């Protein structure tokens, strides 16, 4: 018995934004697994289940696809960090806000391991990727500096000094994340406490002495 045309299942056309997000998730995985140089657009298209021309239409080139992956990771990291600070509450002690932000970073690394692998492959990537990866560090440094500047008692501390401390925090978090990758038994909480215990003394010295 033949099936009438109206009874045949129709293939759902995925909206562009949804398809782009799907491609970026897969591309991030493939770049992390194979490295930027060894990855081809065919690899990504085959795994997503779309045509190669579609990926070119959306992202222009392999470099454009990589850039989109990095921008996506940058946005996600900013969102989780800011959410952690907000969740700490306006009346939270600075050390608790600091700890919440550091923990959010390590939890992000756990949930987005492929994104972190991409960052660590910086030297082998397209030339346009390095500025984008550096922009992730700059974004985090600026956000940390703003958070410190808004903390009670730190409004009078020179912004340049706070920016310097923020750079130290970002560098420490990234290096501890690399160190932790070789020690899978180290939890996000343990990595957070390592960073906080190492850096909090300097940050605490910026706060005015209690009356």
Q: Cα(88)–Cα(28) distance, rounded to whole angstroms?
A: 31
Integer CA distances (angstroms), 139 to 35, 110, 135, 166, in order:
25, 20, 6, 10
Q: Is the pLDDT of residue 9 over 50?
A: no
Q: Is the pLDDT of residue 58 over 90?
A: yes
Structure tokens at 47: 């795994």
Select the more confidently predicted residue: 9 or 148: 148
State the residue for tokens 């020179």.
158
State phi, psi for 87 to the nearest 5 degrees: -65, -25
> Under DSSP, is residue 211 helix (H, G, I), strand (E, B) or coil?
coil
pLDDT band at 11 (very low <50, low <70, confident <90, very high): very low
pLDDT at 3: 52
In sequence order, which residues have a C-beta less than 8 Å from that of residue 118 and are 6 or more positions away? 28, 31, 32, 66, 69, 70, 73, 125, 133
pLDDT at 126: 55
Domains and CATH numbers, the chain: 16-204 (1.10.357.10)
pLDDT tens for each residue of 104-144: 999 999 998 888 877 776 555 556 667 877 888 899 999 99
Mean pLDDT score across all residues of the chain: 86
Q: Is the pLDDT of residue 70 over 50?
A: yes
pLDDT tens for each residue of 141-197: 999 999 999 888 888 899 999 999 999 999 999 999 999 989 989 999 999 999 999
Rounded to an integer, what is the distance from CA 59 to the centroid of its chain? Answer: 20
pLDDT tens for each residue of 79-107: 999 999 988 877 788 899 999 999 999 99
């Amino acid at each position: 018995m033949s099936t009438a045309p109206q009874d045949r299942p129709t293939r759902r056309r995925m909206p562009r934004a949804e398809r782009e997000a799907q491609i970026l998730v897969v591309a991030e995985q493939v770049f992390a697994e194979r490295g930027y140089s060894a990855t081809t657009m065919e690899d990504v298209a085959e795994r997503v289940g779309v045509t190669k021309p579609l990926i070119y239409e959306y992202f222009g080139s392999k470099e454009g696809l990589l850039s989109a992956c990095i921008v996506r990771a940058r946005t996600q990291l900013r969102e989780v960090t800011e959410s952690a600070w907000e969740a700490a509450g306006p009346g939270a002690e600075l050390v608790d806000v600091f700890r919440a932000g550091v923990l959010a970073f390590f939890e992000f690394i756990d949930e987005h391991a492929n994104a972190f692998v991409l960052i660590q492959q910086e030297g082998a990537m397209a030339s346009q990727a390095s500025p984008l990866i550096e922009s992730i560090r700059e974004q985090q440094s600026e956000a940390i500096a703003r958070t410190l500047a808004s903390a009670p008692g730190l409004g009078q501390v020179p912004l340049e000094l706070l920016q310097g401390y923020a750079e130290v925090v970002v560098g420490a978090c990234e290096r501890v994340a690399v160190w932790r990758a070789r020690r899978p038994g180290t939890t996000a909480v343990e990595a957070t406490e390592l960073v906080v215990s190492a850096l909090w003394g300097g940050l605490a010295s910026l706060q005015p002495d209690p009356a």
